[in-house]
């Protein structure tokens, strides 16, 4: 198959959704398919390159930040992509389009499909579903939602990354939605042996935005000052300086490492040296960092929401805590940090759990879906 993948942010730009798309594209390319990705350009990146069997085409946009995209940068991607995508299709004749995110990428897929007749499938990641991340996109969807209906209706298949995302989508759109989780290269990420760190190392990875609730990390860990631990918070965003200030105010600067925005490969390097993924998010689809944490053998302490319900078997490989319950987060982490035998058991269970999210299985599912659409199924 010749596959044109559309996504407005792709590694090293953007967050987990882009990483999920990259892993899927890499898996499909490894199976002999011709995969071209049309994504947004940022200064310092080549406009075209080949990586892991994937042809990357980056188009000019207004994007200036690795960690976030405004409505205007998304609109710029769609408008530039209409011209660039039409040219790509005219020259390369792809068999099918795979769009990640109904908003904004789905709009581009919809227009290109109308112009060329090429079918598309749509993968939704939560933030592009009305109500998925209300603190971030609630205002947009008040007036954008009616215009998104044709995007969902024209798609030949719609994939949600978690059951939570699927159920939310079904509340807003009368379409069939199936679930294919995000995956990770489990085989290569799995540690040969789990070695606990002394002191235990906690890690957070994500945008410093209200959705990720980074201030809760400081609140929780300030209750555990009597224990020995360290914490790395990977990422950047509008709350970065405020988070840094709160850590200093709490007198915990020596315990925290805030390297800022790092590459996906660097995230994995940090994971390989950590013990516990701590994610007190307010909303999540199926976070790629969560899947990667499983594969690298991290215990997970996370909010009892969204895709974390698929990643954590409560009490087996981590703990799921009600959103904003600082005391419950503190109590769970205290148990894990205080008892190496508990931490080791949870970490071993995560490695076992990770096999459910093997990227090879995920790529096979997408290959079957794409081929099914071309076969008229």
In the 8-state DSSP scheme, what is residue 90?
H
pLDDT value at residue 65: 77
| Residue spans per domain, the chain | 2-183+359-374, 186-357
Asked if the model's pLDDT at residue 143 lies above 80, the reply is no
**What value does the mean pLDDT of the chain take?**
93
Question: How confident is residue 120, by pLDDT bands cut at 50, 70 and 90?
Answer: very high
Q: Mean pLDDT across the stretch 317-338?
A: 97
> What's the full length of the chain, in residues?
377
107-116 helix and 71-92 helix, angle to the nearest 10 degrees: 30
d(CA 173, CA 145): 10
H or E, element range at 231: strand 230-234
d(CA 64, CA 261): 13
More confident residue, 11 or 299: 299
Q: For 79-105, write each residue's pLDDT tens digit.
A: 999 999 999 999 999 999 999 999 889
- Among 144, 147, 250, 16, smallest CA distance to 24 is for 16
Asked if the model's pLDDT at residue 75 lies above 90, the reply is no
Alpha-carbon separation of residue 373 from 120, 156, 192, 237 (angstroms) = 9, 7, 40, 39
- Whose structure tokens read 């459910």? 356
Q: Mean pLDDT across the stretch 319-338?
A: 97
Which residues, including other chains, have CB under 8 Å from residue 69's CB and lie 6 or more apart? 8, 9, 14, 40, 63
Output the CATH code of domain 2-183+359-374.
Answer: 3.40.50.2000
Give the pair of three-digit tokens for residue 183: 């995956």
Question: How confident is residue 137, by pLDDT bands cut at 50, 70 and 90?
Answer: low
CATH fold of 186-357, please? Rossmann fold (3.40.50)
**pTM of the predicted protein model:** 0.86
More confident residue, 184 or 143: 184
Lowest-confidence range among 47-51, 56-60, 62-66, 215-219?
A: 62-66
Q: Are 2-183+359-374 and 186-357 the same fold in CATH?
A: yes
pLDDT value at residue 350: 98
- Among 190, 207, 203, smallest CA distance to 359 is for 190
pLDDT value at residue 127: 80
pLDDT value at residue 64: 78
Percent of the chain residues topping a pLDDT of 90? 78
pLDDT value at residue 142: 66
Lowest-confidence range among 67-71, 105-109, 236-240, 290-294?
A: 67-71
Which residues, including other chains, have CB under 8 Å from residue 12's CB and lie 6 or more apart? 45, 66, 263, 264
Q: How many CA atoms lie within 13 A of 238 on its CB side?
A: 9
């Amino acid at each position: 198959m010749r596959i044109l993948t559309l996504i407005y942010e792709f590694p090293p730009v953007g967050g987990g959704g882009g990483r999920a798309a990259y892993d899927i594209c890499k898996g499909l390319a490894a199976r002999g398919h011709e995969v071209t990705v049309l994504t947004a350009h940022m200064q310092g990146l080549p406009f075209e390159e080949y990586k892991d069997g994937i042809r990357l085409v980056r188009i000019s946009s207004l994007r200036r930040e690795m960690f976030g995209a405004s409505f205007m940068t998304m609109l710029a991607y769609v408008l530039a992509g209409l011209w660039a995508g039409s040219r790509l299709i005219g020259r390369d004749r792809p068999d099918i389009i795979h769009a990640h995110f109904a908003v904004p990428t789905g709009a581009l897929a919809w227009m290109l499909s109308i112009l060329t007749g090429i079918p598309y499938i749509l993968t939704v990641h939560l933030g592009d579903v009305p109500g998925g991340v209300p603190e971030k996109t609630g205002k947009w969807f008040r007036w954008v939602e009616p215009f998104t209906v044709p995007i969902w209706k024209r798609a030949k298949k719609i994939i949600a990354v978690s059951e939570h995302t699927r159920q939310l989508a079904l509340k807003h759109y009368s379409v069939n939605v199936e679930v294919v989780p995000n995956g990770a290269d489990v085989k290569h990420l799995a540690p040969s042996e789990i070695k606990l760190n002394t002191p235990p190392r906690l890690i957070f990875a994500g945008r410093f935005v209200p959705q990720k609730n980074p201030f809760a990390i400081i609140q929780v860990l300030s209750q555990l000052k009597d224990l020995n631990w360290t914490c790395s918070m990977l990422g950047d965003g509008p709350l970065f300086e405020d988070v840094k200030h709160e850590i200093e105010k709490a007198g915990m600067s020596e315990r925290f490492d805030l390297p800022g925005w790092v590459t996906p490969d660097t995230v994995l390097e940090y994971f390989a040296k950590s013990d516990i993924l701590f994610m007190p998010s307010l909303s999540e689809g199926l976070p790629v960092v969560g899947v990667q944490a499983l594969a690298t053998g991290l215990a997970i302490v996370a909010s009892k929401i969204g895709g974390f319900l698929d990643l954590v078997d409560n009490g087996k490989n981590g703990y799921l805590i009600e959103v904003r319950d600082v005391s419950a987060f503190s109590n769970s982490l205290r148990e894990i940090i205080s008892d190496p035998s508990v931490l080791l058991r949870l970490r071993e269970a995560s490695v076992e759990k990770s096999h459910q999210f093997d990227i090879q299985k995920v790529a096979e599912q997408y290959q079957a879906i794409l081929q099914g659409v071309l076969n008229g199924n």
